[in-house]
Amino acid sequence: MSTHPNEAALLAMITGRADELAEITRDLIRFPTINPPGDAYRPCAEYLGERLRKRGFDVQYIRAEGAPGDTDSHPRINVIARYEGGPGPCVHFNSHIDVVEAGEGWTLPPFEGVIRDGKVYGRGACDMKGGLAASVVAVEALLDAGVPIPGKLEISGTADEESGGYGGVAWLAERGWFSRPRVDHVIIPEPLNVDRVCIGHRGVWWGEIETLGRIAHGSMPFLGDSAIRHMGAVVEAFEERLYPRLADHTTVMPVVPDGARTPTLNINSVHGGQAEPQEGRLPSPVVADSCRMVFDRRLLIEEDLEAVKGEMRALLDSLSQTRSGFRYHLRDLFEVRPSMTEPDRPVVTQTARAVQQVLGRPAALVCSPGTYDQKHVDRIGKLRDCIAYGPGILDLAHQPDEYVEIEAMVQSAQVMALSAWALMSGGK
């Protein structure tokens, strides 16, 4: 009996399952797993779990009890399915099952999974139910290849990635589901394009700056102190001192697109003074005593989060020194440290090799400008052997008329099957 699958036959088998791949994607899209609030997690997880149970997987449903948003009406249900083959390593495919709301501007129904012109349309098609379906077809093809599975295969469908992963991968990682010895390699089929292997992501710091003033009558602003003018000074200091410094950074992270290879700072919102006047009403004449800015600072792997916070605080403190009456509060809202695995890890090299084999061109190693669940696998699970690899175009994620190309799903399923086999066989 052979111990190695006939690779040409394996790839042909997956090509022959293109329709099935599209149908699984369609079925998954039909569960409107919108987060927030976290709808339809249970039926979506059960669809996945029951399919894999029939193929000999041991299936567990794990509710993230007590996680943010977990209630009896919206339980945070995760599914993990495991196939015990030989003594080789465990390869885990992790997909989030939640999607963002459909939003406006669709020309097709967002939760029907319309299949047209070689594409499957719907919310979550590319981010990331198409990738989940590809991983299912990849592992099923390995089971059908006629040779014993040399290691272990896992597929998970997890909750709440779009809201930080605290009821999903983070919760599971805290309980050992994403650590050795259970798991050796994790592939997250996020939509990074079929020819790219994503080795990590930038970090995030969201914060709020509030400048303080003193209220007075608007006809005599000299009697007060405008918090909005103080915020203007903050924005000016960003322009003159902070943005040029951010643009100066270089990084080893191959972030795509290129513009994200420096740290970035977005000003999400600025609100000062009274609320916007309602239609037909005049505003009251007062000097603003408070102005708030929410910002979104993205970090490179070379940056230390505490140092980044210190840089912001130093800038604000310098305004306190130079600007009469300047007072502020700085609050943390959310933070994620950057994560990047080493390019010579087997999960990277074997997936890149499989891309070359399937597509006939070298894989690009990239990093994501935004964050995804790799941070939890790395930081909590202490597992460095994690990448994102999957079909679909990242730019389409969260857009109206989101779609995934069936051909890209087939190709990525082929890559996943070859990579998983090599990793379970101990390939370096």
Q: Which residues bind Zn ion (CB under 5 A)?
A: 127-128, 190
* Closest CB to Zn ion among residues 127, 378: 127
Cβ atoms 79, 45 nearer than 8 A: yes
* Closest CB to Zn ion among residues 196, 353: 196
CB neighbours (10 Å) of residue 41?
A: 28
Cβ atoms 144, 13 nearer than 8 A: yes
**Residues ≥6 apart with Cβ < 8 Å to 381:** 173, 177, 178, 179, 183
- In the complex, residue closest to Zn ion by CB: 127
Distance CA 10, CA 413 (A): 11
Cβ atoms 421, 83 nearer than 8 A: no
Q: CA separation (Å) from 132 to 24, 32, 113, 225, 280?
A: 9, 15, 14, 55, 52
* Closest CB to Zn ion among residues 154, 402: 402
* Closest CB to Zn ion among residues 190, 405: 190
SS (H, E, C) 16-39: CCHHHHHHHHHHHHCCCCECCCCC
Instruction: Name the active-site residue from 70, 161, 184, 225.
Output: 161
* Closest CB to Zn ion among residues 128, 348: 128
Cβ atoms 154, 80 nearer than 8 A: yes
For CA atoms 228, 205, 32, 389, the dihedral sign is positive
For CA atoms 29, 82, 67, 381, the dihedral sign is negative
Q: Is 161 a catalytic residue?
A: yes
* Closest CB to Zn ion among residues 190, 378: 190
Q: CA separation (Å) from 323 to 222, 320, 382?
A: 15, 6, 46
**Residues ≥6 apart with Cβ < 8 Å to 206:** 268, 294, 295, 296, 297, 332, 333, 334, 335
Shortest Cβ distance from residue 427 to Zn ion (Å)?
Answer: 27
Dihedral of CA atoms 343, 388, 78, 92 in degrees, nearest 10, equals -50
Q: Is 98 a catalytic residue?
A: yes
Which element (helix H / strand E) includes 293? strand 290-299
8-state DSSP, 126 = I
Phi, psi (rounded to 5 degrees) for 265: -140, 115
Shortest Cβ distance from residue 98 to Zn ion (Å)?
Answer: 9
* Closest CB to Zn ion among residues 130, 272: 130
Residues with a catalytic annotation lie at 98, 161
